[in-house]
Amino acid sequence: MSINPPHVHHDQPYMSEADANNLIKKYDKNGDSILTKDELTAMILEQASQQQGHPKDVVCKPKKNPAKVPEDKGLHMRLSRSEIRDIFLEHDIDGDGYLNVSELTKAFSFIGSMLPLYKAHYGLNYADADGDGRISEEELGKLVDYAERVSRRKGFC
């Protein structure tokens, strides 16, 4: 059975219900009419390989982030000041010695913030004493204070 990719119509859903049912039947190995994570992954990989001409067994590996959170820290565990500081320092991606909004957003995201862009902007406004739009190493202590304060309120950030 060959399933062609559905055509996009702006006034209709991306895929008809019949197309969706056919996909479920094709990839539902245990017959429960629900795709498990493994079944869904197999479907996505096969569909992607058909569209891009890649072999089915090729899986892209995610990029590794150099910052490390200690393995004994769970999702809702508190990080120490030094761990928070190290994470911020490791997110100085361009190596200029300052943290800009983009780097702060990535750091707050890495830490587990629910709203990393918001936290980055608020943290920048809170800690940027000289108003240059970036956090220097001298201003980093105040940023860590902010990160600690918001983490005490609702888990981390």
pTM as predicted: 0.51
Is the CB of residue 85 less than 8 Å from the CB of residue 140?
yes
pLDDT in tens, 108-127: 998 888 899 999 999 999 99
Cβ-Cβ contacts under 8 Å for 107 (sequence gap 6 or more): 67, 87, 88, 90, 91, 99, 120
pLDDT in tens, 5-30: 544 444 554 567 787 788 788 888 88
Q: Which domains does the chain have, with CATH numbers?
A: 1-60 (no CATH), 81-153 (1.10.238.10)
Per-position DSSP letters for 30-54, written without gaps between them: TSSSS--HHHHHHHHHHHHHHHHT-
Report the residue count for the chain: 157
